[in-house]
Structure 1
Amino acid sequence: MTRHDELEFQLTYGDCDTVGIAFFAIYYRWMERAYTSWMSSHGLRSGELSDQLGIITVGVSSGATYLRPAKVLDRLVCRLVLDHIGTSSYSVGYEFTRDGELITRGRMAYVCRGPDWSKTQVPDALRRVLESLPSPHFSVPSGG
């Protein structure tokens, strides 16, 4: 059975700096790729949510905590986890692991807006999809 809440990939030289350690910004590319694939597996496309659900989602913040370095040819898994669902916003967490060990924890937060850009609630259909995400598997202490 295919897991739609995770994405496995192998780092290449293009993902790393000159000493072969994963460049910090590549994690954002993989978070976006995992999120897009996961949404698509539920029949949702971020760019079409206005037509599908009558809303627009806007990314308002993101972050990552880097716990251990990843290097060229490391195989990583990016697993989506539910971070938070509010009335008109939500955030998705991203746990990057290598051989089951957490190396990076990312987060992206979104707000829901109506077609006129007014604040609007997370639609029930999207809420159900978000609630299907697992809880975080790891806790990350404050400050890293």
Structure 2
Amino acid sequence: MIVEYLLKVRWGDTDAAGIVFYPNFYKWMDEATHEYFSSIGFPTSTLYSEQQIATPLLEANCQFKSPLLFEDDVIVRSTVVEINKKVFKISHKFFKGEKMVAEGYEIRAWTSFKEKPKACPIPNEVREKMMPENAGTVKS
């Protein structure tokens, strides 16, 4: 499934030259991941409050292709590209109009925080919704 997360670049997202300061792409990837889980029916706030499950970040990477500026409208298209027993990789592609301006990914672990944090198997009902075969586009 592909989930679209829409955002507008704010003044505080930019540096002195008026270009988006790079850490904001990582912030937006994190936000897009939370939107992804909400869109497939598993909001991360509910997962944590009801099951003490979270998806901590293990690795992140982003490549910048073209700058974003104040008030640019951006679409982040997110999809799970790899899923293992306890860990998954989610891809994020940033678009300004039809032009891809950046792309990145996060690797995250399905983790129980009931006691000491410990990675645990991704439940089948979640896995089925995350699988790339279940492609479709959801706009948030």
> What do residues 77-106 of structure 1 show as CA deviations (whole Å, max 9, x unaligned)?
111122211121101111001121111112
Q: Indicate which of 22, 30, 44 corresponds to 1:24.
A: 22
> Residue 32 of structure 2 aligns with which residue?
34
Aligned residue for 2:76, secondary structure, equals strand
> Residue 125 of structure 2 aligns with which residue?
125
Q: Is the 8 A contact 1:53 1:123 kept in 2?
A: no
The letter for the 2-side match of 1:129 is K
Q: Structure 1 residues 51 and 33, CA, compared in 2 at 3 Å: closer, same or farther?
A: closer
Q: Is the 8 A contact 2:3 2:39 kept in 1?
A: no
Q: Structure 1 residues 53 and 18, CA, compared in 2 at 3 Å: closer, same or farther?
A: same
Aligned residue for 1:8, secondary structure, equals strand
Aligned residue for 1:5, secondary structure, equals strand
Instruction: Please identify, of 73-82 and 37-46, the stretch whose mean Cα deviation from structure 2 is larger.
Output: 37-46
Structure 2 length normalisation: TM-score?
Answer: 0.79
In the alignment, structure 1 segments of 5+ residues that lack a partner are 135-144
Q: Indicate which of 3, 6, 24 corresponds to 1:5.
A: 3
In the alignment, structure 2 segments of 5+ residues that lack a partner are none
Instruction: Please identify, of 18-27 and 8-17, the stretch whose mean Cα deviation from structure 2 is larger.
Output: 8-17
Identity of aligned residues (%): 19
Aligned residue for 1:72, secondary structure, equals coil
> Residue 78 of structure 1 aligns with which residue?
76
The letter for the 2-side match of 1:96 is F
> What do residues 5-55 of structure 1 show as CA deviations (whole Å, max 9, x unaligned)?
112222122111111111101112222222212312333132443675674
Alignment of structure 1 residues 53-72 onto 2, 5 Å:
55-72=53-70
Provide the aligned length of Structure 1 versus Structure 2. 132
The letter for the 2-side match of 1:13 is W
Distance 1:51 1:10 in 2: 29
The letter for the 1-side match of 2:92 is Y
Q: Is the 8 A contact 1:5 1:133 kept in 2?
A: no
Structure 1 length normalisation: TM-score?
Answer: 0.77
The letter for the 2-side match of 1:112 is W
Tell me the C-alpha RMSD between the 2 structures.
2.5
